[in-house]
Each structure stands twice: as C-alpha cells, then as structure tokens.
Amino acid sequence: MSIADIPSVELQALDELWFQVSGTLCNLQCTHCFISCSPHNDSFGYLSLDEVQRRLEESVAFGVKEYYFTGGEPFLNKELIAMLTATLAYGPATVLTNATVLKPEWLRELRAAEEGAVYSLEIRVSIDGPTAAINDPIRGKGTFERAMQGVRLLVEHGFLPIITMTRTWDEADDPEIISAFRTALHELGYRRPRLKILPRLQIGAEAQRTHGYDANDVVTQEMLADYDVGQLICAHSRVITDQGVCVCPILLDSPAAHLGETLAESTSPFPLVHGACYTCYQYGAICTNPSSQVVEQQRAADGEN
C-alpha cells in the first residue's frame, strides 16, 4: 500500500484522556498482553500525583469529558487513590485493574471519594473467562480465584465493576461464555453484572503466543468511505505516559504513536498504518466502557428479559 493509500484520522474532540499510571509494570504477566506488561517490564514507568494533577488542569481547555487510568496494574501505584480522588473533581473516572491486589481500605477510600464527588467512578476488571481452566493459562495459575475475590470485595463496597474478557475462544461461543460468567458472578452476589468481550490484539505478548498481523491486515481509504471513524479511539482520546503523550493505549510500543509532550502537540491526524488499527476498525470502541445497549444485548443473548 502506498503512502497515498494510508488513511489518517483527525482528532474530532478530546473526549477521553488516559493515564498510564503504572506504565508497563504489572504483578501479572499475561500471555496475550498487547504491551507485554510484567513485574519486570519498565519500558514505561509510573506517573506521579503531581503529573496527573498538572495534566488534569491541562485537559480543561480541551473539554475532556472522561478519564481512564490504566497500566500495567494501576493499583501498584501508591498514589492511585489520591489521583482518582483528584480526578473526580474534573469528570467521571474509570480504572482498569486485574483486581488481584485490591485492599478493603483502598475501596473504602474510593467509595467515600465517589460519594463526596459530583462525578462517578467506574472499575473495570480483566478476567479472561468464567473458569480457572479458561483464565489461568492466559493470566497465570490462581489468578481466576484471586480476581473473583477482588470482584467480591468491589461488590461488598458498593461498586458494580465492568468485567472485561479477551476472546481466546471461537466467537460463536460468546453467548455460552457470557452465560457461564454471569452464573459465576451471581454466586459471588453480583446480581446484575456488566460484561464486555474484547478482541485479541495481535501485538506484544499475543504476537508471540499465537501470531502477529499479516500484510493484509490494514485499513485503506476505501474501508473508511462509509465508516464512522468516531468509533476509533484515536478520534477522541489521547494517553499520558511518563514519556509524553501517545495516540492510544494500544500502541505504546510504537515510536510513531508518540505525538509530543503536551496535549496541544498531540492533536495532529494519525495515520492508520498499524495492524492493531485494523482490529479497532473491525470492532470499534474496544478500549472505552460498554454502553447500556451492549449490556442489554448480552442479557438478551443469554435469554434474560
């Protein structure tokens, strides 16, 4: 494909700002992680509370509507509770966690912070299947039980976590997986769970586990002709890392995805040259929270009225 055939996506509006608060450091080493996070990967480091506060102030002029905190494992950052508390003065916040290191005292602080704020706090928990047999080969031995206990803690403290799972099974099995997961969550006392299935991103550790993208996995100008590019995260988001601003949380390992030191420097159009852009094109909105419509569709697929 020639340079002329490579489509670019304009930043339509900076609706969401992401914080890579623990960089690529994580207590787990998942075999499908698209940025190969692990206890030893310090390619990207922690953000400080001061840096997050500075970026929150910077974001006001851009009209940011929502904030996401990710990693690595965000709860490894000892300043995360203070970061989330500060963010709730600016807009709704979501933290993406594996839920294996949660402490009751942290959740009590976060519950109090949300109750005293104008905006809401969401917790997204990554568990890659409704059983240990499906999850643990991907995320590590014993992680299913630990994560489910984390979900129990969240529910006990009044949170309704969004459970996200990366599809490592046939897509035709989605209704069965969702049904089994809802049953498992009901047993924890989570009566109306919210679930979201994510596609595999064939970069990072996943490229080693299975395979990477091939030459045909590209987005072309023709493919965008009648396509709503607002579904792509690069059209409405940017990511703060300890090394500047990146176009999205998926492409941290690509030097071309680093757009500058400030939000103002990061607003230029982004060329969709990466294989992961093809997955985003196929599925749309894979990084942001699921809508109520998606959840209702999942319930309908499971036969609930």
Compute the average pLDDT of residues 2-9.
79
2 part of a folded domain: no
CATH number at residue 258: 3.20.20.70
Distance of CA 280 to the CA centre of its chain: 13
Compute the average pLDDT of residues 198-209.
96
Look at residue 304 in the predicted model and tell me its pLDDT. Answer: 45
* Residue 209 structural domain: 11-301
39 part of a folded domain: yes
204 part of a folded domain: yes
**pLDDT band at residue 198, thresholds of 50, 70 and 90?**
very high
Look at residue 226 in the predicted model and tell me its pLDDT. Answer: 93
Give tens-digit pLDDT for 129-178: 999 999 999 999 999 999 999 999 999 999 999 999 999 999 999 999 99
Q: Looking at the predicted structure, is the pLDDT value of residue 199 above 90?
A: yes
130 part of a folded domain: yes
Q: Please, what is the end-to-end C-alpha distance for the chain in angstroms?
A: 48
152 part of a folded domain: yes
Give tens-digit pLDDT for 32-86: 999 999 999 999 999 999 999 999 999 999 999 999 999 999 999 999 999 999 9
> Of all residues in the chain, what percent carry a pLDDT higher than 90?
92
**pLDDT band at residue 301, thresholds of 50, 70 and 90?**
very low
Q: What's the domain count of the chain?
A: 1
Q: Looking at the predicted structure, is the pLDDT value of residue 1 above 70?
A: no
Which residues, in sequence order, are bridge partners of residue 94?
Answer: 68, 122
1 part of a folded domain: no
Residue type, 99: A
Q: Looking at the predicted structure, is the pLDDT value of residue 303 above 60?
A: no
The reply to whether omega before 72 is within 30° of 0 (cis) is yes
Q: Is 30 left (phi over 0), alpha (psi -120 to 50) or beta?
A: beta
> Of all residues in the chain, what percent carry a pLDDT higher than 70?
94
CA-to-CA dists, residue 168 to 39, 110, 163, 205, 274, angstroms: 23, 32, 15, 14, 21
Say how far apart CA 198 and CA 200 lie, in whole Å: 7
Selection from 243, 237, 240 nearest residue 286 by Cα = 237
Pairing assessment for the beta strands 270-271 and 8-9 based on DSSP bridges = antiparallel
CA-to-CA dists, residue 131 to 47, 193, 275, angstroms: 34, 16, 30
3 part of a folded domain: no
Helices 104-115 and 143-156 pack at an angle, to 10 degrees, of: 40
Q: What share of the chain is helix, strand, coil (3-state, %, to 5)?
A: 40, 15, 45
